[in-house]
Amino acid sequence: MRWLPAWPSAMHTLVFLSTRQVLQCQPAACQALPLLPRELFPLLFKVAFMDKKTVVLRELVHTWPFPLLSFQQLLQECAHCSRALLQERPSTESMQAVILGLTARLHTPETEAGTQPLCRKHALRVLDMTGLLDDGVEQDPGTMSMWDCTAAVARTCIAQQQGGTAEPGLAPIPVEVRVDLRVNRASYAFLREALRSSVGSPLRLCCRDLRAEDLPMRNTVALLQLLDAGCLRRVDLRFNNLGLRGLSVIIPHVARFQHLASLRLHYVHGDSRQPSVDGEDNFRYFLAQMGRFTCLRELSMGSSLLSGRLDQLLSTLQSPLESLELAFCALLPEDLRFLARSPHAVHLKKLDLSGNDLSGSQLEPFQGLLQAAAATLLHLELTECQLADTQLLATLPVLTRCTSLRYLGLYGNPLSMAGLKELLRDSVVQAELRTVVHPFPVDCYEGLPWPPPASVLLEASINEEKFARVEAELHQLLLASGRAHVLWTTDIYGRLAADYFSL
């Protein structure tokens, strides 16, 4: 399983080890719960979740003595155990046990409160299941993906509405369940029914982050209309290929979420089948709606045609952005110059310019942008930007001024081993740097055209023997400079790129 390599290195206190021993006999542990101090419940939950003590876990949720049960608080590294469970795929057994415990609570009437020690049946009001790992890789059969979690919570909502309480006439204990929802064409109807069922139900479903993939426009709108405006933090619409026409229909429904901090849109471009005047009207309407957001801090517009229009887009926003993703947006020099001069530049923590050619007239304004963002930038993604050694070396003086930088992505650029070594040496001043995703050096290919298109770098075969020598040399250079903790890798599919909210 994915978490096994981390297990031997986890540090445990005597309290943790004693708690684990107590839970070995689950029936006895469940009988003892009413007698245990409330302060032990958080650690009991983490140990039971980790060790798949499902009977105890279900009873812990059923009798939780605090108003809030938060995965983000309970499953992180703590004083008693260094293992951070939120960085792993959750166990299916443990997740199902939590949901069964929640179901049991929903069927516990208020009038039974007096029979429960410390009124524990009353305490829980919010179950926060947000923050679970969603790495997008193939699922381990023993773990639960975000899609599965969405479906499991949705089933609980629908069953609660259809089944009612165990004893008619007695009010169930209301619980707000906060979740991150994932939806596609196959799961749309099911999730819509769950959201409808939670309205006025003892189980109130609140979505923090919504990711909708390949949904028709009308379904996207219908889903947005069912979400609580006070809970939603992020809207992520993927592979929808809306165009400006579709986006002009959806964006007012998104703009009603006044607390929205992250908006991720893709494939925003004009429709060649429309008269250009309609396209311009749709774009102006989109800009007007973007001006309604007051809390927006992250904007992703990947694969959107924004050539010469970045100033119009960013000027409408009420607050400076901290994360801006403009991958494959065909940016022009004037777009980069505007961004460098804008209020956003000095606040940027994350910047993604992948797929924009920075090798020609865009290089100088790009360097100016780096200079403006140097004090705050933590994460820089420059995949497939046509940066060869000449451009990289010219950029190093300003790049190394980004002294807080933790992540640098350079995959798919035509860099040689000499260029990579220069980067490694110069980046010694960047004490916070932890990850560099670099390309296979052009030295490791045979018969490359020059300059090599990104498609060739991504698809052509490399000489494995040459690359093994490159890796060994880079590793030795890192060791010699006292930076063995810095990861230099060509793995673009690992969970290396940080989410904005984790920065």
Strand 298-300 to 323-325 pairing: parallel
At residue 111, the pLDDT reads 46
Q: Where are the beta strands (DSSP E) in 256-391?
A: 262-264, 298-300, 323-325, 350-352, 379-381
Q: What is the pLDDT of residues 379-409, one digit of tens each?
A: 999 999 999 999 999 999 999 999 999 999 9
Residue 298: name the closest of 350, 241, 353 by CA.
Answer: 350
Q: Are 252 and 225 in contact (CB under 8 A)?
A: no
In this prediction, residue 485 carries a pLDDT of 95
**Banded pLDDT at 170 (limits 50, 70, 90):** low
Maximum alpha-carbon separation in the chain: 80
208 closest CA partner among 191, 230, 231, 183: 231
4 has a pLDDT exceeding 80? no
Q: How confident is the model at residue 109 (pLDDT cuts 50, 70, 90)?
A: low
Kindly report, residue by residue over 336-393, the tens digit of the pLDDT.
999 999 999 999 999 999 999 999 999 999 999 999 999 999 999 999 999 999 999 9
Please give the pLDDT value at position 245.
85
Residue 267, Cα to own-chain centre: how many angstroms? 20
pLDDT band at 202 (very low <50, low <70, confident <90, very high): confident
- Residue of 51, 58, 49 whose CA lies nearest to 30: 58
* pLDDT on residue 427: 97
Helix (DSSP H) and strand (DSSP E) numbers for the chain = 19, 13
Mean pLDDT of 267-290: 75
Q: Given this model, what pLDDT does residue 151 score? A: 82
For tokens 């490694």, what's the residue?
A: 424
pLDDT surpasses 50 at 285: yes
Domain limits, the chain: 377-386+395-414+427-491
Which of 8-22, 39-53, 487-501 shows the lowest mean pLDDT across its residues? 8-22
The pLDDT assigned to 497 comes to 74
pLDDT exceeds cutoff 90 at 115:
no
148 falls in which pLDDT band (50, 70, 90)?
confident
Average pLDDT, the chain: 88
Q: Is pLDDT above 90 for 459? A: no
Q: What is the reported pLDDT for 495?
A: 65
Nearest to 306 by CA among 355, 344, 257, 340: 355
Q: Quick one: how far is CA 251 from the chain centroid?
A: 22
Identify the pLDDT of residue 113: 39
Q: Which amino acid is at 280?
A: E
Contacts of 4 (CB under 8 A, 6+ apart): none
Q: Tens digits of per-residue pLDDT, 242-255? A: 778 888 999 999 99
The pLDDT of residue 167 is 54
Return the structure tokens found at 407.
């992540």
Which range scores top for mean pLDDT: 43-47, 112-116, 301-305?
43-47
C-alpha triplet 436, 440, 445: angle, nearest 5° = 170
Query: What share of the chain has pLDDT > 90, as a percent?
Result: 65
pLDDT of 270: 54
pLDDT in tens, 313-332: 999 999 999 999 999 999 99
- Say whether pLDDT at 6 is over 50: no
Q: What is the pLDDT of residue 88?
A: 86
Per-residue pLDDT at 344:
98
CA-CA distances (angstroms) from residue 339 to 136, 319, 335, 394, 405? Answer: 31, 14, 6, 20, 19
Q: pLDDT confidence of 269, banded at 50, 70, 90? A: low
Q: Which residues pair with 179 in a beta bridge?
A: 207
Least confident range from 68-82, 98-112, 187-201, 412-426: namely 98-112
pLDDT at 199: 86
CA atoms within 13 A on the CB side of 82: 8
Query: Given pLDDT bands bounded at 50, 70 and 90, which one contains residue 136?
Result: low
Q: Residue 169 — very low, low, confident or very high, per pLDDT cuts 50/70/90?
A: low
- The pTM of this model reads 0.90
Q: Which of 86-90, 156-160, 455-459 shows the lowest mean pLDDT across its residues?
A: 156-160
Q: Is the pLDDT of residue 100 over 60?
A: yes
Task: Please say if the pLDDT value at position 84 is more than 90.
Answer: no
- What are φ and ψ of residue 339, in 5° steps? -60, -40
CA–CA separation, 128 and 73 (whole Å)? 9
pLDDT tens digit sequence for 292-314: 999 999 999 999 989 999 999 99
